[in-house]
Amino acid sequence: MRLSWLAGGLCLQLGALAFQPRPVSLRAQRARQLYSSTKDAQDWLVEPMDTERAREVASSFQHEDFEPVWWAKNNNVMTIAGAGVVSDAWKKLTGAPAEPPFYDVRKQVLARDGAEIFVDFRAADRAAGWKGEHVVVMLHGLESSTEAPQMKRMGQAFNDVGCDVAAVSFRSCAFDGETPSAPGAYHLGFTNDVQDVLRSLARNPLLPLADEEASGKTPPAPKFYLSAFSLGANVCLKLLGEYGDGEADEWAGVDVRGAAVSCVPFDPVACSPLLSDVTFNRIVYSGNFLKTLIPKAERQYAALGADAFPPSFSIERVRQSKSIGDFDDAYIAPIYGFMDKWDYYATQGCFPGGYLEKIRVPAHVINAKDDPFIMDVRLPTKEDIGEAPLSLQYTQYGGHCGFLAQASQGGQMWLPRQLARFIAHLKEQL
């Protein structure tokens, strides 16, 4: 086993020598100049959060029980109905009118590699407009988007507690046909784009406003909160572990106060078989994801050409993928330099990767024990997280991002409101 890993590492190194990346574009050069120095004239000091105080704030948050609707106690029914599949089909059948735009404006943020990150903004006070003082940065799940019903419900809930929201699109998910300009897009542990969005908003808190709207206004020192579900939730918690207490130079001026996340695949090593080996999950859930993942990979391969990809990459292996695990082995691992999917899962999962215990700001987590993607396999305990200021809430029911509650609890708004309750708790306590 040890020799095979060493051999695999040697092959990767030799492959890297043979693989000649494309010349760095002017856009990428400008991005590197922008992010090479975190100190500038507009920079301000952020007071590191006291870990003991963070634990007090997290532990003082009161959980509210989840009571599922009687007909959705089956985890797959809860997951599929909660995703809006039934309601979307009904709207199409009845010819319901299109909903008005949810967000106020979409802007592009330049990433460190020169790529454009699409961010949708919505002000808490639609009449007064963007203030940028309390900002919740939201992340979606695998092959989801900022237009997903769950994202809009979360955005509304955060607006209701007085927070502006910035919804980040992972690469290739901003609009139909979006093709990243370099191999790859996003994955369980890809935190660079989120960090770049935070740093950009820290430098320019009035970014969502037009120049004439921002003129004459004094930029606030924004307080950031993170929220996400599913894959995005792992990205979020991993980023919090990287952030720590925020004292590292790369985080200068970025004041992250905490996070509220749901349906976290804490340990992808343990979760992977649930989507690959369980027949229903492989056919229904993995199959649904692969309907967009494989065509995106094919479109990117056709646009960039074989020479843009590492020698170990095979588009045929991608096309033959029958599960998410197959796709991660064929696409994610070779492009991002992991030995295989297991190396990817072990290093990028927020739990096995060792990021949870490094978190130093308060965070609230809601996971269902019957989540078909995750179940109760390796859900972290208080003993596992050590001194990290995490509030862990594991419900008996809920499925994966379903959480259809009794009408008295708000129905589909139960989960978004719980996340927003925690953010409001942070605003009040910190």
- Measuring CA to CA, which residue among 300, 254, 263, 258 is closest to residue 285? 263
For the question of residue 286 being annotated catalytic, the response is: no
Rounded Cα–Cα distance for residues 299 and 290 (Å): 14
Catalytic residue among 230, 286, 321, 323: 230
One of 140, 187, 364, 400 is an active-site residue; which one?
400
Q: Return the DSSP state at 254.
A: -
Cβ atoms within 10 Å, residue 375: 18
> Does 371 qualify as catalytic in the annotation?
yes
Q: Which residue from 180, 209, 197, 183 is spatially nearest to 235, judged by alpha carbons?
A: 197
Q: Are 262 and 366 within 8 A, CB to CB?
A: yes
> 117-147 burial, b if ≥16 CB within 10 A, otherwise e?
bbbbbbbbeeeebbbbbbbbbbbbbbbbbbb
The residue count for the chain: 430
Options 245, 255, 267, 371, the catalytic residue:
371
Calculate the CA dihedral of residues 381, 385, 387, 388 and round it to 10 degrees: -110
CA 229 to each of CA 19, 140, 226, 365, 419: distance values in angstroms, whole numbers, following the listed order: 35, 6, 11, 10, 10
> How far apart are alpha carbons 139 and 128 in whole angstroms?
25
Look at residue 155 and give its three-state secondary structure: helix
134 among known catalytic residues: no
**419 token code pair:** 């996340």
Q: DSSP of 178-209, one letter per residue?
A: ---SSS----TT--HHHHHHHHHHHH-TTTTS
Question: Which residues lie closer than 8 Å to 94 by C-beta, 6 or more apart?
Answer: none
- Strand ranges of the sheet holding 116-122, from the earlier edge strand across to the other edge: 105-110, 116-122, 164-168, 134-139, 223-229, 255-262, 363-368, 390-395
Cα–Cα distance, 117 to 30 (Å, whole number):
15
- Residue 208 corresponds to which amino acid? P
Cα separation, 415 vs 134, in Å, equals 20
Give catalytic residues, as residue numbers: 230, 371, 400
